[in-house]
Amino acid sequence: MVVGLAAAVISLWRLWLANHSALTEVVWAEDGVFPLCVEKAGFLTCLTDPFAGYLLVLPRLLAGLVALFPVAQWALVTNLLAALIAGLVSAGAFAVMRRFGTGRIVSVLVALLPVIAPIVGLEALNALGSTYMLLLYLATLIVAFPSPTRYAGWPAIVLVGLLLVLTALTIPLA
């Protein structure tokens, strides 16, 4: 939980460092298009209409939430949701690495990698339209570092299955 919170804060901090007003003023590409679609055509229509051949399910689901807020708040809501996703993915990565048996420090570094690596640009880290990158990262860790025990329990199996299906529906390359 601490790792997830740290990741969320780091992602917001990186955005703030790049542009102090970005948190409340910057909405990236699809992060504005999808809520507009929800406003104009409805949530279900926008959820199932391919965008450049991709479903981008997670960004579209989150767009339904963003569209509930006034347009003037979309940047803030979008950036907070993107930070929440980064935090959840990092917390998941930490759990995967610890369950695999890696040490605490290595697990923290692997978990925070998506939010601290300079190669991950702000338009990828703080954009709901690019959440597929974080989903792919976590899905790759889950597949590459399986639990050493044969039985992880049905809640873990269901969560992993949902993550993998969500990843595949978000970006077909998964």
pLDDT digits (tens, 9 = 90+) for 2-47: 999 999 999 999 888 888 898 999 888 788 999 999 999 999 999 8
Q: Please tell me the distance from the alpha carbon of residue 15 to that of residue 25, in angstroms, as a whole number.
A: 11
135 close to 167: Cβ distance less than 8 angstroms: yes
Residues 59 and 72 sit within 8 Å (Cβ to Cβ):
no
Instruction: Give the pLDDT score at 161.
Output: 87
Q: Is the Cβ–Cβ distance between 47 and 60 less than 8 Å?
A: yes
Average pLDDT over residues 120-143: 83
In contact, 141 and 91? CB cutoff 8 Å: no
